[in-house]
Chain A
Amino acid sequence: MKQHDRTDSSRRRLMAALGGAGALAAFGPARVFAAQIGSTGALGLAELPDGTLAEQLLYALPGKVPLIKKTYRPPNFETPIQYLRSVITPNNAFFVRYHLAGIPVVKLAEWKLNIGGDSAERQISFTLAELRKTFKPAEITAVCQCSGNRRGLFEPHVAGVEWGVGAMGNAVWRGIRLKDLLSHAGVKSGAVEAVLNGADHPPLEKTPDFVKSVPIEVALDENTLIAFEMNGRPLPHWNGFPARLIVPGWTGTYWVKHLTNINLVSKPEANFWMSAAYRIPRGMFKTPSFKTQVASANEPITTMVVNSLITSLRAGEQVRAGKPVEIKGIAWDSGSGIDRVEISLDGGGTWRPSRLGRDHGRFSFREFSMSVPTREKGALVVMARAVARSGEMQVEKLIHNPAGYHHNVIQRLFVEVV
């Protein structure tokens, strides 16, 4: 544990050095940050808690490449930044997030999807083959981002899984439309929510099972899918095999994995995961309200906020004078689509639009890039801010909230031209 303490105190000294007058000159320390696995300080963002940095490491779950281990049980693993340099995140590098440790390996021969509830006309049940045979295929490219992505960057820090920037990924999801399945079961006029449960379960009987609901209008939206495939392959076990819900634009908490039951209900779902967890203070964000779940002080998190990530640079990176600085990254929002990603090189005084990559649809990551020629030696401050077609823009200052959601503060990277 002595090791631990040395790391803590040396880190504090580095932070002090970076925060002081010599911040621009402190490139040595910045390279030390870069060497730490999953450091967000190395990306020009606020840093993770000391204990998180000391504890996390790269570890490969079966079927996955080494990912940033946050916790072993239940498994919470983050995608390292190199896999976020492509617009589609590879299946074997896609982040893993579970709340509860009971994670069965689902056998397709035994798996069925059951539809029911008091607001369904019929109780029905399908095997995967039956679902594929009965319903028209549907496909969408969409970002799956954990509600708590970047929680570790909150200052002051808040309790939870201390995610850096990689609790997200973008994939081509293929399956069927949830609305087709629900129409087949028959939706009664009093239905207010669709309640979703998966095969994963709590370690103890008294622990609330992870069950989520979505508003009926979201369940019936044409973009809401039950996916069997991810990037042309069956869903990986750790990402919800054999079927998961896809709710484009909404945070990952609603994307229930290992889906087994969907109930149409006339009364709002009231379990812990809806009534107590995944809540934001009312009115703090401009995201839509989940009307049947609003309480006096708070309401459920719903859609993602606009955000971007520079993936091509590390804080303190050295670039030869005369060579261009290649600024590349990805941007995403709740589904209005990315209008532009602007770059500033003067600390936010002036902003210029970057070049956007191919449009993979309004729910997808959108790549951006800018090549900046360098002339003078010295420090260059690179900032990127995404603006959605809705007009929503990334924030300059963190909107602090108790559970650590919706961090979309503008990144600020120092590059050294030598």
Chain B
Amino acid sequence: MKPARMLIATAFMAATGIALAQESKVQLKDAPGRDKAMQCVACHSADYIPMNSRFLDRAGWNAEVNKMINAFGAPIAKEDVPAIVEYLVQNYGKPAGD
């Protein structure tokens, strides 16, 4: 996560007073693309991602990311989408052969 985005997320949580301390215990897998995927936590806790694993394929994760941008207005740059989807597919996607 870029410092600027981190600041926005932190400021938002502080303003609404609804962030639970335990939320910080949810750790996304450390792998390439994690920093980009951490933009998701501006609006929701990271546990949404492991909760939805591992059953979505690439099309499934792509649809979820695009839903967040198009339906929910997530301020995620278009050029970040492939890296986020790749991170989700590799770490939280349907295992090959399943």
Interface size for A (C-beta < 8 A) is 39
Interface size for B (C-beta < 8 A) is 34
Contacts of A75 in B (CB 8 A): 18, 20
Chain B nearest CB, measured from A376 CB (Å): 39
Supposing A101-B16, A203-B43, A204-B73 touch, asked if A71 and B48 sit within 8 A by C-beta, the answer is: yes
Contacts of B72 in A (CB 8 A): 202, 204, 206-208
Supposing A70-B51, A73-B23 touch, asked if A101 and B44 sit within 8 A by C-beta, the answer is: yes
Whether A72 and B16, one on each chain, are in contact in the complex, defined by CB atoms closer than 8 angstroms, is no
Chain B nearest CB, measured from A153 CB (Å): 12
Q: Say if the beta carbon of B60 comes within 8 Å of chain A.
A: yes
Which of A48-56, A240-248, A316-324 binds B? Answer: A48-56
- How many Å lie between the Cα of A51 and that of B16 in the bound state? 29
Supposing A73-B20, A208-B71 touch, asked if A157 and B43 sit within 8 A by C-beta, the answer is: no
Whether A59 and B43, one on each chain, are in contact in the complex, defined by CB atoms closer than 8 angstroms, is no
Residues A257-283 near B (CB distance < 8 A): 272, 276
- How many Å lie between the Cα of A337 and that of B78 in the bound state? 51
Chain B nearest CB, measured from A64 CB (Å): 12
Chain B nearest CB, measured from A201 CB (Å): 9
Of B20, B52, B73, the most chain A CB neighbours within 10 A belong to: B52
Whether B18 and A159, one on each chain, are in contact in the complex, defined by CB atoms closer than 8 angstroms, is no
- The A contact surface, by secondary structure, is loop
Residues A67-117 near B (CB distance < 8 A): 69-75, 101-105
Whether B30 and A159, one on each chain, are in contact in the complex, defined by CB atoms closer than 8 angstroms, is no
Chain B nearest CB, measured from A57 CB (Å): 9
Residues B1-20 near A (CB distance < 8 A): 12-13, 16-20
- The B contact surface, by secondary structure, is loop
Question: Count of A-B contacts with CB under 8 A?
Answer: 101
Whether A102 and B51, one on each chain, are in contact in the complex, defined by CB atoms closer than 8 angstroms, is no
Residue in contact with B75 in the complex, picked from A54, A204, A276, CB distance below 8 Å: A204
Residue in contact with A49 in the complex, picked from B48, B55, B63, B64, CB distance below 8 Å: B55
Contacts of B75 in A (CB 8 A): 204, 206
Whether B44 and A162, one on each chain, are in contact in the complex, defined by CB atoms closer than 8 angstroms, is no
Contacts of A49 in B (CB 8 A): 51-55
Q: Say if the beta carbon of A392 comes within 8 Å of chain B.
A: no
Supposing A1-B29, A103-B16, A272-B71 touch, asked if A71 and B44 sit within 8 A by C-beta, the answer is: yes
Q: Say if the beta carbon of A8 comes within 8 Å of chain B.
A: yes
Contacts of B13 in A (CB 8 A): 73
Of B43, B56, B60, the most chain A CB neighbours within 10 A belong to: B43
Contacts of A104 in B (CB 8 A): 16
Residue in contact with A72 in the complex, picked from B17, B47, B73, CB distance below 8 Å: B47
Q: Say if the beta carbon of A161 comes within 8 Å of chain B.
A: yes
Contacts of A73 in B (CB 8 A): 13, 18-20, 23, 44-45
Chain B nearest CB, measured from A266 CB (Å): 26
Contacts of B16 in A (CB 8 A): 101-104, 203
- How many Å lie between the Cα of A217 and that of B43 in the bound state? 36
Whether A71 and B51, one on each chain, are in contact in the complex, defined by CB atoms closer than 8 angstroms, is yes
- How many Å lie between the Cα of A4 and that of B60 in the bound state? 22
Give the top 8 A-B pairs by smallest Cβ distance, nearest first.
A206-B73, A51-B53, A157-B55, A73-B45, A72-B45, A72-B23, A55-B50, A51-B50
- List B residues at the A interface (Cβ < 8 Å): 12-13, 16-20, 22-23, 26, 29-30, 42-45, 47-48, 50-56, 60, 63-64, 71-75, 92
